[in-house]
Homo-oligomer: A and B are copies of this chain.
Amino acid sequence: MSRVTCDLTVSLDGFVAGPNQTPTDPLGEGGELLHRWQFEEREANAPELEGILAAGAYIMGRNMFAGPGAWAEEWRGWWGEEPPYHAPVFVLTHQEREPVQMQGGTTFNFVTDGIESALARAREAAGSKDVAIAGGAQTARQYLSAGLIDELRLHIAPMTLGAGERLLDGVGNLTLEPTEVSGSRLVTHVRYRIIR
């Protein structure tokens, strides 16, 4: 069976976003600095960047798809007409909607009956490939708390934010096993297998 993976970038003090997040500034104050490695060190981090988009299906929260609040009927995500997923994406929401087919193989499917149902559908769509929990952090926490993630890939930015949204608050007592570490000047990558 395919694995369930989750890539997340966090500060050294554990935040996925800085303080004062807003719908137009979802990363909060200073939060965009966490992601410098993805833009300034693309080459050094090519394997990890490719790994983020290698899954056979994705699951994301509704805030990641559309921001908080109801979305307009014509909303088609933040990623333009050809999103980078090139695979089925399952969006967790309470708002029923027909699938939206984008260019390049991405289809947004809307799942209104919970995280386990979304995972079952994503597994079926992914075949032998992995299912990736694409975010946001709240969705990742839900899957972590439910014990449904096999591999957590943390990208630790070498900075502290001091306040904001913490990735691992409320996920309970996890036991993990680091299986690979690597890094560059702007990030440390640690792959963790989650031990049940």
B192 touches A190 (CB 8 A): no
Enumerate chain A interface residues (CB-CB to B < 8 A): 12-14, 30, 154, 156, 158-162, 166, 168-178, 181-185, 187-188, 190, 192
| Interfacial chain B residues near A160, Cβ < 8 Å | 168, 171-174
CB distance from A40 to the nearest CB of B (A): 13
By Cβ-Cβ distance, the 10 closest A-B pairs, closest first, are A158-B176, A13-B168, A160-B174, A181-B181, A14-B14, A178-B188, A181-B183, A158-B178, A159-B175, A178-B183
| 8 Å CB contact of A177 from B154, B158, B166, B169 | B158
| 8 Å CB contact of A185 from B14, B171, B177, B183 | B177
Q: Given A13-B14, A178-B188, A188-B181, A30 and B162 touching (CB < 8 A)?
A: no
| Interfacial chain B residues near A173, Cβ < 8 Å | 30, 159-162
| Interfacial chain B residues near A174, Cβ < 8 Å | 12, 159-160
| 8 Å CB contact of A12 from B168, B182, B183 | B168
CB distance from A139 to the nearest CB of B (A): 18
Q: Given A158-B176, A171-B160, A188 and B190 touching (CB < 8 A)?
A: yes
One complex includes copies of this chain to the number of 2
Nearest B residue to A172, CB-CB: B162
A134–B133 Cα distance when bound, in Å, is: 39
A169–B154 Cα distance when bound, in Å, is: 20
Q: Given A160-B171, A192-B158, A176 and B12 touching (CB < 8 A)?
A: yes
A-B contacts, 5 listed (Cβ < 8 Å): A158-B177, A159-B173, A160-B173, A181-B181, A188-B190
CB distance from A132 to the nearest CB of B (A): 20
A175–B11 Cα distance when bound, in Å, is: 10
Nearest B residue to A193, CB-CB: B158
- Which residue, of A160, A168, A184, has the highest number of chain B Cβ atoms within 10 A? A160
CB distance from A94 to the nearest CB of B (A): 29
